[in-house]
Amino acid sequence: MKDTTSQPIRTTCPYCGVGCGILVTPGPEGVTVAGDPDHPANFGRLCSKGSALAETLGTEGRLLTPLIGGRTSGWDRALDLIARRFTRTIAEYGPDSVAFYGSGQMLTEDYYAANKLMKGFVGSANIDTNSRLCMASSVAGHIRAFGSDTVPGLYEDFELADLVVLVGSNLGWCHPVLYQRLLAAKEARPALRVVVIDPRRTATCDIADLHLPITPGSDAALWNALLVEIDARGLGQWRNRVAGYDEALAAARAGSRDCGTDLTAFIEMWCSTERVVTAYSQGINQSDSGTDKVNAILNCHLATGRIGRPGMGPFSVTGQPNAMGGREVGGLANTLTCHLSLDDPAHRSAVQSFWNSPRIASRPGLKAVEIFEAIEDGRIKALWVMGTNPTISMPEADRVARALESCDFLVASDMVSTGTTRRADVVLPAAPWGERSGHVTNSERRISPQRAFLPPLGLARADWQAIAGVAQRMGFAGFDWADADAVFAEFKALSGVAGTLGADFDISGLSGDVPALWGNRPDGRFFGDGLFHTQDGRGRMIAVTPRAATPQMRLNTGRIRDQWHSMTRTGRAPRLNAHIAEPFVEVHPKDAARLGLAPAGLAAVENRHGRAILRVLVTDRTAPGQVFAPIHWTEANAPSGRVGALVPGAPDPVSGQPALKEASVTLSPFRAAWFGFAASARPFTPACDYWATARFAGGLRAELAGTAPPSDWEDYARTLFGLPGAEAAVLTDRARGLMRLSLSEGGILMAALFCAAQPVALSRKTVCDMIGQPAPAILTGQPPVGRADPGPTVCACLGVGRNTIRDAIRDGRCGDLGSLGRELGAGSSCGSCKPELRALLATMLEPVPSA
Ligand code: SF4
């Protein structure tokens, strides 16, 4: 018998900045995905998103050919047109009239080609990336403090520390495998303490010895207060080894502010623990004073010398798989390449000479927010967007969408149709994860290969190939790479030149194609010796004056456990949609009561920038006066769930990173006349005031609501599902405002619609499981007698629902994580659901207070 299985291919996860190694094994039934036990980032672990990667490889919705004006084209015509329009625009309006806007999803090779073309040949630095929205304030903070954008520590420092402080980071949901490493270390060594600093009680708080629910925006004040105490206790051991100590201390003393919570225990822990890691993420970076917040953290580590040694140091956790690679390549508007400086003539000259380019950008270009403003006012005439959808991810997303519509010439490279590709003059089909090869760098500076294991679908190509094609057509030499390896070899050689100029990023000696940490220090860490990349070699402490917080109802934005960005990939995996299937807003019970918001009802969340309609989740995880909403939903799956439309996104003055976590909003009940739930074996697009769709294994489901009910439900359902001739069964209860409708073909249930005057209460999973099965005589929306409703999915890998878990805890079968895993399988695979399992255990096993 022929063996149709193959050897596993080593590659890297395409989602978050943890950068987990993956083994992909092609087989007769498709590919299987497993964690790579030999990869030093994850040692075989994967989170729910990584584990479900094989489910996301379908062809549905993929862009297969270039499009010009919405019509199919060949690559040559498309590239000719792009080259012609960019050349003409540059000739007419100058190099700064064009721009590239990329993504932390791009591979290092793509970034390298784009940066070389724009900075070295067009002669502008108008190249920026959605990484600007993610960690630009960390880059700026590093450069101010260290003289270079260098992450000092390693993942293993989380395990070696005695205290890990997580600031503005929901590590449990956003970087799950790093969280699991921390959790395992804490379980093995309970003396390792964890502090979470976050206005919200996130899933990560589950393992925290201390949670500080600070007032939003008061982070800098907190770190200033710590610095004052560090000095008072005589812990400022590097006072004379770093610059700016006294100025930073004076600013800290002057800028004290109430953080909304008692800091005593935290300060005591931090001061008394030498091995301390402070990890921070978007909660720090996505602020209009993000760089100051970063430096306020770095100040405390520099003052104490707790940096670059085992188990200690500040640690910026990056959001995207190759945000770090983009930083190394120079894919930001204010950087050059290989940690060389755009401001240094010698650096520019060396890079120009290496590229043999006719010119080189000599000043910073437009950053992300500025690019779209420049389109609005006509300074940018031609834009190429690669691997990102700014109509969702940018602040003031509606305004950005209008700007793109007004752009003279817009090119978009993507794997699927998005709000950006739909507005583009030329669309290029990009080869995604699995169909392209190259490299990514994770949060700890580890470069890993991403390898193709499938042929490109249709005419899809890697971004570097498209960029090289355009560059060659613009008449530029030096873009005739044979393959991605040749691009990477050139990048490595350039980094060798950078090394001779004193840059720390020199990978010219990197050999082989295995995960490799860059840096020339024996233990892989930087700055433990007190030597930095500044002119005088000293680290710099920065005087930070905290900003005042806004008093209005404040919207905090973020991510959910099982989705990634705008869901173009994770939204394809049914099991990832089973956890949370529609956009929501978390509201504190006091605010909900005050504003008349009912649990599971809908709220209109609005301000002068935009409006969203979101499902109300009443919870005390969010403090009074604050609300939280996730960022993932788009016009394709929930048009009124686009949270980016509400965010003004004032940029940080140093880094240009917009404040994506800061918006003042008002909330009011969305007065729906009817609510509905629909499920169908075939795709459908609802048309009503509120809708949100999600895939399940047998089709598509949707939550619906409208301000006026249709005149005829049966007609409505037939049109909605595209089943004009199906056999309909309708049950209505006018007195209770209920309606249940099924449509079947040949005795098979093809679609179901449930509507009510209140949010529809039924077992969604039961209804979804019935689609495609023999049509029942009566559609109840409840499990058959004798079978329990599992409830919403908690464990995505094993499909274990909340009701099942609660029942097992309630009847005493399970009392801890181990027994939940043994009895139900919950949490026994990727472990991403462990925070929720622990929370359920904690709530249900709480001792009942005696009367
Ligand atoms: Fe991918 Fe999850 Fe690892 Fe992040 S933690 S790289 S999403 S598997």
> For the segment 299-337, what is each residue's pLDDT rounded down to a tens digit?
999 999 999 999 999 999 988 889 899 999 999 999 999
Centre of ligand 1 from the C-alpha of residue 441, in Å:
13
Ligand 1 pocket check for 20: Cβ under 6 Å: yes
Return the bridge partners of 555, or none: 627, 663
Say yes or no to pLDDT of 350 above 50: yes
d(CA 444, CA 622): 31
Which pLDDT score is estimated for 21?
98
Ligand 1 pocket check for 19: Cβ under 6 Å: yes
Angle between helices 368-376 and 132-146 (to 10 degrees): 120
Least confident of 109-118, 353-362, 658-667, 825-834: 825-834
Centre of ligand 1 from the C-alpha of residue 561, in Å:
11
pLDDT, tens only, 583-640: 999 999 999 999 999 999 999 999 999 999 999 999 999 999 999 999 999 999 999 9
In a 3-state reduction of DSSP, which class is residue 636? coil
Burial of 557: CB neighbours in 10 Å, binned 0-12, 13-18, 19+: buried
pLDDT, tens only, 480-523: 999 999 999 999 999 999 999 999 999 999 987 889 999 888 89
Q: Are 80 and 470 in contact (CB under 8 A)?
A: no
Which pLDDT score is estimated for 761?
87
Say yes or no to pLDDT of 129 above 50: yes
Which pLDDT score is estimated for 550?
66
The number of the ligand 1 atom at minimal distance from the alpha carbon of 51 is: 8
Which pLDDT score is estimated for 459?
98
Q: Are 624 and 688 in contact (CB under 8 A)?
A: no
Say yes or no to pLDDT of 4 above 70: no
**Could you tell which of 47, 444, 561 is best to mutate to test the pocket of ligand 1, judged by most ligand atoms within 8 Å of the CB?**
47
Q: Is 547 left (phi over 0), alpha (psi -120 to 50) or beta?
A: beta
Compute CA distances 646 → 448, 570, 774, whole Å: 37, 24, 45
Which pLDDT score is estimated for 552?
73
Give the pLDDT band (50/70/90) at residue 5. low
Q: Structure tokens of 419?
A: 């709000």
Ligand 1 pocket check for 279: Cβ under 6 Å: no
The number of the ligand 1 atom at minimal distance from the alpha carbon of 12 is: 6
Q: Quickly tell me which residue has 């022929």 as its tokens.
A: 2
d(CA 299, CA 205): 25
pLDDT, tens only, 716-739: 999 999 999 999 999 987 777 789
Whose C-alpha lies nearest to ligand 1, atom 2? 47
**Mean pLDDT score of the chain, rounded to an integer?**
93
Contacts of 114 (CB under 8 A, 6+ apart): 100, 102, 106, 127, 331, 386, 463, 464, 467
The number of the ligand 1 atom at minimal distance from the alpha carbon of 15 is: 7
Say yes or no to pLDDT of 142 above 80: yes
Length of the chain: 851
Q: Are 396 and 649 in contact (CB under 8 A)?
A: yes
- What is the Cα 486 distance to its own chain's centre? 30
**Could you tell which of 11, 12, 20 is best to mutate to test the pocket of ligand 1, judged by most ligand atoms within 8 Å of the CB?**
20
Say yes or no to pLDDT of 849 above 50: no
**Could you tell which of 49, 134, 443 is best to mutate to test the pocket of ligand 1, judged by most ligand atoms within 8 Å of the CB?**
49
The number of the ligand 1 atom at minimal distance from the alpha carbon of 177 is: 5
Centre of ligand 1 from the C-alpha of residue 746, in Å:
43
Give the pLDDT band (50/70/90) at residue 785. low
**Model-level pTM?**
0.93
Which pLDDT score is estimated for 735?
73
d(CA 539, CA 530): 7
The number of the ligand 1 atom at minimal distance from the alpha carbon of 41 is: 3
Q: Structure tokens of 839?
A: 């929370």
Q: Are 368 and 656 in contact (CB under 8 A)?
A: yes
**Could you tell which of 11, 18, 48, 281 is best to mutate to test the pocket of ligand 1, judged by most ligand atoms within 8 Å of the CB?**
18
Whose C-alpha lies nearest to ligand 1, atom 3? 20
In a 3-state reduction of DSSP, which class is residue 434? coil
Say yes or no to pLDDT of 782 above 90: no
Ordered DSSP codes for 760-783: --S-HHHHHHHTTSBPPSS--SSP
Angle between helices 245-254 and 290-304 (to 10 degrees): 120
β-bridge pairing 690-696 and 699-706: antiparallel
d(CA 851, CA 839): 25
Q: Are 227 and 299 in contact (CB under 8 A)?
A: yes
Compute CA distances 22 → 8, 19, 682, whole Å: 9, 9, 32
Which pLDDT score is estimated for 750?
97
- The more confident residue out of 781 and 69 is 69
Ligand 1 pocket check for 16: Cβ under 6 Å: yes
Ligand 1 pocket check for 15: Cβ under 6 Å: yes
Centre of ligand 1 from the C-alpha of residue 21, in Å:
9
pLDDT, tens only, 365-416: 999 999 999 999 999 999 999 999 999 999 999 999 999 999 999 999 999 9
The number of the ligand 1 atom at minimal distance from the alpha carbon of 47 is: 2
d(CA 77, CA 83): 10
Amino acid at 694: A
- For the chain, report the end-to-end CA distance as a whole number of angstroms: 71
Centre of ligand 1 from the C-alpha of residue 130, in Å:
19
Ligand 1 pocket check for 216: Cβ under 6 Å: no
Centre of ligand 1 from the C-alpha of residue 230, in Å:
36
- The more confident residue out of 217 and 785 is 217
Ligand 1 pocket check for 176: Cβ under 6 Å: yes
d(CA 782, CA 766): 6
Burial of 721: CB neighbours in 10 Å, binned 0-12, 13-18, 19+: buried
Centre of ligand 1 from the C-alpha of residue 178, in Å:
9
Centre of ligand 1 from the C-alpha of residue 18, in Å:
6
Centre of ligand 1 from the C-alpha of residue 605, in Å:
31
Contacts of 473 (CB under 8 A, 6+ apart): 79, 80, 82, 83, 84
pLDDT, tens only, 625-682: 999 999 999 999 999 999 989 999 899 999 999 999 989 999 999 999 999 999 999 9
In a 3-state reduction of DSSP, which class is residue 48? helix
In a 3-state reduction of DSSP, which class is residue 190? coil
Centre of ligand 1 from the C-alpha of residue 715, in Å:
45
Centre of ligand 1 from the C-alpha of residue 623, in Å:
29
d(CA 219, CA 547): 10
Centre of ligand 1 from the C-alpha of residue 463, in Å:
23
Which pLDDT score is estimated for 267?
98
Amino acid at 704: L
Least confident of 69-78, 233-242, 249-258, 451-460: 249-258
Alpha-helical (H) ranges within 151-218 are 156-160, 171-174, 176-188
d(CA 584, CA 80): 45
Return the bridge partners of 447, or none: 441, 516
pLDDT, tens only, 414-424: 999 999 999 99
In a 3-state reduction of DSSP, which class is residue 142? helix
DSSP state of 228: H
Centre of ligand 1 from the C-alpha of residue 92, in Å:
45
Query: Looking at residues 70-94, what average pLDDT do you find?
Result: 98
**Could you tell which of 23, 155, 175 is best to mutate to test the pocket of ligand 1, judged by most ligand atoms within 8 Å of the CB?**
175
Centre of ligand 1 from the C-alpha of residue 55, in Å:
15
Give the pLDDT band (50/70/90) at residue 1. very low
Ligand 1 pocket check for 18: Cβ under 6 Å: yes
pLDDT, tens only, 243-286: 999 999 999 999 777 899 999 999 999 999 999 999 999 999 99
Whose C-alpha lies nearest to ligand 1, atom 4? 16
Ligand 1 pocket check for 46: Cβ under 6 Å: yes
d(CA 42, CA 384): 35
Which pLDDT score is estimated for 700?
97
Q: How many CA atoms lie within 13 A of 100 on its CB side?
A: 31
In a 3-state reduction of DSSP, which class is residue 498? helix
Around Cβ 462, how many Cβ atoms within 10 Å?
A: 26
Centre of ligand 1 from the C-alpha of residue 175, in Å:
6
Residues of the chain with pLDDT > 70: what percent? 98
Q: Structure tokens of 164?
A: 């890990």
Which pLDDT score is estimated for 566?
86
Ligand 1 pocket check for 177: Cβ under 6 Å: yes
Which pLDDT score is estimated for 117?
98
The alpha carbon torsion through 162, 163, 164, 167 (nearest 10 deg) reads -170
Query: Looking at residues 458-474, what average pLDDT do you find?
Result: 98
The number of the ligand 1 atom at minimal distance from the alpha carbon of 175 is: 5
pLDDT, tens only, 537-593: 999 999 999 987 666 789 999 999 999 888 888 998 999 998 899 999 999 999 999
Centre of ligand 1 from the C-alpha of residue 156, in Å:
17
Q: Quickly tell me which residue has 């600093």 as its tokens.
A: 197
Q: Nearest CA to 235 among 303, 295, 310, 299?
A: 303
Centre of ligand 1 from the C-alpha of residue 829, in Å:
14
Return the beta strands (E) in 8-156 as ranges. 9-12, 21-27, 30-35, 67-68, 71-72, 98-102, 127-129
Angle between helices 817-824 and 834-845 (to 10 degrees): 110
Which pLDDT score is estimated for 125?
98
* Residues 782-802: b if buried by 16+ CB within 10 A, e if exposed: eeeeeeebbbebbbbbbbbbb
Ligand 1 pocket check for 47: Cβ under 6 Å: yes
Centre of ligand 1 from the C-alpha of residue 103, in Å:
17
Say yes or no to pLDDT of 174 above 90: yes
